[in-house]
Amino acid sequence: MKKNFLALIKQINLFSEIILGIIFIYSVIVLIATVGFYLDKNTIFLLIKITNLSLLLFVLQELARIVFDKNKKKYVYERWFELAISILFLLILIFPSFTINIINDLKSNIGGNLSVVEIYSINLTFIDLLLIITFLLKSTRYIDAIMKLNLHPSAIFALSFALIIFTGAIFLSLPKATVDGETTSFIDALFTSTSAVCVTGLVVHNTATHFTFFGKVIILLLIQTGGLGVMTLTTFFATIIAGGLSVKARFLMKEYLSQINVETVGKLLLKILQYTFIIETIGAIFLFIFGKSNEDKDFLSHIFNSIFHSISAFCNAGFSTYKDGMMQNLIQNNYWYLSGIMGLIVLGGLGFAVLVELSQLLKFKNLFNFKLYIKSKLSVSAKIVLLTTFGLNIIGSILIFIISPNIFQSLGTTFNTFFHSVFTTISAKTAGYNSVPMELYSFPIAFVIIFLMWVGASPGSTGGGIKTTTFFLAFYSLLSQIRGKERVEVFKKELQPNNLTSAYLVIIANLLSLSIGIFLLLLFETDKQPLDLVFEAVSAASTVGLSRNLTPFLGEGGKLIIILLMFIGRVGFLNFYLAFYKPSKEPEYHYTKETINVG
């Protein structure tokens, strides 16, 4: 009897999972149809009826699960989210005009003019989006199943980014994503989606003029998802909904977040989302107050553009909803606005772990004794990040200011020249905003910018490049060797040999990727200037987004190469190659050691 009951429970669960899968596939198709295509009234009403049936099936399968579960109290405790959603869906079925009335009220308050078809389309989109989100959040319960695949953590990260990229490409290629008279080929949609998810900023179409409001919202969502990381969001919701992370999941996120201690992973995840929301909100308010472009048509567009640029800057994405970006007339010499952008770029590029450490300054007893705090409380890693970041920013700014004063003559004063030198330097370290056309820079300055792009941001940040710590370790190791020291000591600490090895491997993997990418670009883009191609390749691989006005003129082959470089740069140069290998144990035996002549 007990075996039969357990078999029945198993069959009910299996049947419920099949129903959920069908509902999810249907909801995705309907969402794509409603948000991406222009549907008539009859089609919308038909889809609403089928969607209501989907809601009913969802409620019934959840009801069946709880009825046949032996420990109902435990089920309710563990599945509170599904039950809450079921109640919401039931209310929507009982009171079908509820959401319609809310949409009408919003329309009246905003002052918009929506047709009946548009109102019902919004209602249908909302319900289907809710179904999809519900399914995705439910799926976070099965994060441990991913662990059992025995894939390298790098492969899981790469696949998660690839999934979001292709999803974004589908939505960006839809008719409603582009303005009237414009179309987006799938390769261009894939390029834009990759650039957004990999927080790069290279574009083949002008974001401001080519994409509709819907298209811009999709790009913004892709930037935010890519900046935080798909696995960060997934594990966060797994923590909230499923009640915590398994040991394997914690180790996976430890690798992704560049953490040393696995115990700090859960806390850091919550801090990441908390800090992201706070910084981006403050940034949006700051940009709203201190900057308004002549392209901000009304109050709502000004709000949206402020939010868009705050998220884009903090995620080091470099996308802009202004036609000329930061070169726009009212923005280019707006010191407050550009300072806000620079502040967001720097905070996003420091890395979340460093932000968490710096935030502890507010709790430090000697609040105003910053030097003491830096010396006694910050980790060596954080000190290296801060030293390298600000050191490169200062050196880069001075070099650009000294070598190319003629570029900034049209901007006016010496202060203006230095200010834009600083902006260019900070942006070059993975943000991709430019207040001056990159093609105007001479080769020496282009080389400085290429170097800054190559180094990039810091570990665990939204930026790319080989990372500041990698550069510091390799450079400091060289200095130690020159001084005749076998050990590398920094801030009265001896660095682990495996850290130095990792730094060298990252640099080798980076140079290998860049060499192949540049070679292929030279092969496919024979009519382009070599300097421009090298600049583009480094910008893509370091997920920066600066371009010498080359991106829109790339051929299909060139676009695919840049797409791959952006993807490798976001996943991580070393991680990309590690993704092709399954984790394996070291053999217990050792061969005799041999010395090789080097150099």
Bridge partner residues of 490 (DSSP) = 493
298: closest CA among 401, 416, 399, 213? 213
- Ordered per-residue pLDDT tens for the chain, 599 residues: 556 655 666 676 677 778 878 888 888 888 888 888 888 888 888 888 888 888 888 888 778 777 776 777 777 776 777 788 888 888 888 887 777 777 666 666 655 566 777 777 888 888 888 888 777 767 666 655 565 666 666 777 788 889 899 999 999 999 889 988 788 899 999 999 999 999 998 999 999 899 999 999 999 999 998 887 655 655 555 454 444 555 455 555 555 555 445 445 556 677 778 888 899 999 999 999 987 776 667 788 889 999 999 999 999 998 999 888 888 877 888 889 999 999 999 998 888 888 888 877 666 545 555 555 555 577 888 888 999 999 999 999 999 888 876 666 666 677 888 888 999 999 998 888 988 888 888 888 999 999 999 999 888 788 888 999 999 998 888 888 888 787 877 877 878 888 888 888 899 999 999 999 999 999 999 999 999 999 999 999 999 989 999 999 999 999 999 999 999 998 888 888 877 776 667 677 777 877 777 76
CB 575 within 8 A of CB 157: yes
Residues in CB range of 186: below 8 A, 6 or more apart: 169, 173
Report the alpha-carbon distance of residue 516 to residue 374 in Å, rounded. Answer: 41
Query: For position 479, what pLDDT does the model report?
Result: 85
Question: CB neighbours (10 Å) of residue 542?
Answer: 33
State how far the alpha carbon of 33 is from the alpha carbons of 145, 181, 474, 538, in Å: 32, 20, 52, 38
Report the alpha-carbon distance of residue 294 to residue 284 in Å, rounded. Answer: 18
Report the alpha-carbon distance of residue 283 to residue 532 in Å, rounded. Answer: 33
Is residue 586 exposed (0-12), middle (13-18) or buried (19+ Cβ within 10 Å)?
A: exposed
- Give me the phi and psi of 439, to 5 degrees please: -70, -15
- State in Å, rounded, how far the first CA of the chain is from the last one: 76
Query: For position 262, what pLDDT does the model report?
Result: 46
Report the alpha-carbon distance of residue 270 to residue 278 in Å, rounded. Answer: 12
Question: CB neighbours (10 Å) of residue 499?
Answer: 14
CB 191 within 8 A of CB 563: yes
Query: For position 25, what pLDDT does the model report?
Result: 86
CB 433 within 8 A of CB 318: yes
pTM, two decimals, is 0.86
Report the alpha-carbon distance of residue 222 to residue 236 in Å, rounded. Answer: 18
Query: For position 523, what pLDDT does the model report?
Result: 94
Residues in CB range of 231: below 8 A, 6 or more apart: 156, 157, 160, 252, 253, 256
CB 456 within 8 A of CB 429: yes
